[in-house]
Amino acid sequence: MKYLDEYRDHRIARALAAEIVQRTTRPWVLMEICGGQTHTIMRYGIDELLPREIELVHGPGCPVCVTPLETVDKAIALALRPDVILVSYGDMLRVPGSSSDLLRAKAQGADVRIAYSPTEAVKIARSNPDRKVVFLAIGFETTAPANAMAAWQARREGLTNFSMLVSHVLVPPAIRALMVSQTNRVQGFIAPGHVCTVVGCKDYEDLVRDFCIPIVVGGFEPVDILEAVLMLVRQLEARQLEGGEARLENQYVRSVSYQGNLPAQQIMAEVFEVADQKWRGIGPIPQSGFRLREEYAAYNADRVFDLGEMTVDEPAECISAQVLQGLKKPTDCPVFGMRCTPENPLGAPMVSSEGACAAYYHYRRHAVAK
């Protein structure tokens, strides 16, 4: 299949790995931002193809993992109201809140429905005029245009029984927060290709300039990841020898342009505005999320249901904060694979299809057990 088979070709992958080995002269710590990239690395054993000097650490790019505990608790509280239909992406149902999850709420009789697109939630609102339909709108820039479109459509139709519980996060401010952290070890980033399909590469230029760090926009297949690593290694090694500036490069040219998807950016800008945002495990990051604009207040579930502020402590034994910042690996967690499994998750990274803990559990737990 074009654009798939050639990006899983083992001969190309081995040739890229060989060049990485040949060019690497010293240790480098590289971070892939996106959980989808982490799963590719684990699934295809890409880290095992790399020289010992290259350490891949995993970033915060799992939307389910960084959705605050408080948002999950609010969603559960709304779902348990008899007048509410709570609509969510399937990934969110098993994410633990402070004492329960949406799946358990559903078992208790809550009307929780899974949607594959936010416009399905609008459709449910249209068909249930006597119920209040709340869509749990989470994600990075990737899902923001579709979520914005749902609010825009509901407003255009004048629906009065639709609202969204919004928890949207943005990648560049998270990279900035990682870079200014005293504990940062990352020397090069693989930026998430799907996010850049929407926003383009341009948002990453400031980061490269401000922190003098190479960033390569990368895809999600094994060859994509290896090529992105090679591009980073080439830059880092060349700068080590000859100096010079860090550069922003685009490995994922088959999907990502410099400007991105302008109509998608337009609908996002019409519905959302940038705001401070709390990230689960990590805490608040300035200007790192989207909230609904004032014109869309009637579609803001926080306002409609007067949910107010909530602060909930993370479970002490879950080290997802360090995992999401690349400071620890899932296998460093004392309860990994024992008290915390996909069937009985203690933290969000063990639930999500993009969570680092789930990736290690599915592809590495046998190696860990030896």
Residues that bind ligand SF4 (CB under 6 A): 317-320, 323, 330, 333, 335-336, 340, 346-347, 349-350, 357
The token pair that represents 31 in the structure block: 């971070």
Q: 344 and 302 in contact (C-beta within 8 Å)?
A: no
- 250: which strand partners? 217
Minimum CB distance to ligand SF4, residue 344 (Å) = 10
Distance between CA 19 and CA 352 in Å, rounded? Answer: 33
Comparing CB distances to ligand SF4, the nearer of 11 and 366 is 366
Question: Among all residues, whose Cβ is closest to ligand SF4?
Answer: 347
Task: Determine contact, residues 30/57, Cβ cutoff 8 Å.
Answer: yes
Minimum CB separation from ligand SF4 for residue 361, in Å?
8
Residue 60 and residue 33: Cα distance in Å, rounded?
A: 6
Residue closer to ligand SF4, measured from CB, 98 or 255: 98
Residue 314: CB minimum distance to ligand SF4, A: 9
Nearest distance, CB of residue 169 and ligand SF4, angstroms: 18
End-to-end alpha carbon distance in the chain: 37
Task: Kindly list the distances between the CA atom of residue 151 and the CA atoms of 126, 204, 271, in Å, as whole numbers in the listed order.
Answer: 13, 28, 7
Q: Which is nearer to ligand SF4, 37 or 251 (CB)?
A: 37
> What is the b/e burial string over 290-321, where b = at least 16 CB atoms within 10 angstroms of the residue's CB?
bbbbeebebbbbbebbebeeeeeebeeebbbb
Q: How far is the CB of 337 from ligand SF4 (least distance, A)?
A: 7
Q: Residue 260 or residue 281: which is nearer to ligand SF4 going by CB?
A: 281
Nearer to ligand SF4, 276 or 317 (CB): 317
Toward ligand SF4, which CB reaches closer, 233 or 333?
333
Alpha carbon distance 287, 274 (integer Å): 6
Length of the chain: 370
Residue whose CB is less far from ligand SF4, 49 or 92: 92
> Of 140, 370, 154, which Cα lies nearest the Cα of 264?
140
Dihedral sign for Cα atoms in the order 255, 247, 275, 320: positive
CB of residue 78 vs ligand SF4: minimum separation in angstroms? 25
Reference 116, options 92, 148, 152, 151; nearest CA is 92
Least distance to ligand SF4 from the beta carbon of 364, Å?
Answer: 12
* C-beta closer to ligand SF4: residue 178 or 323: 323
Q: Give min distance, CB of 293 to ligand SF4, in A.
A: 34
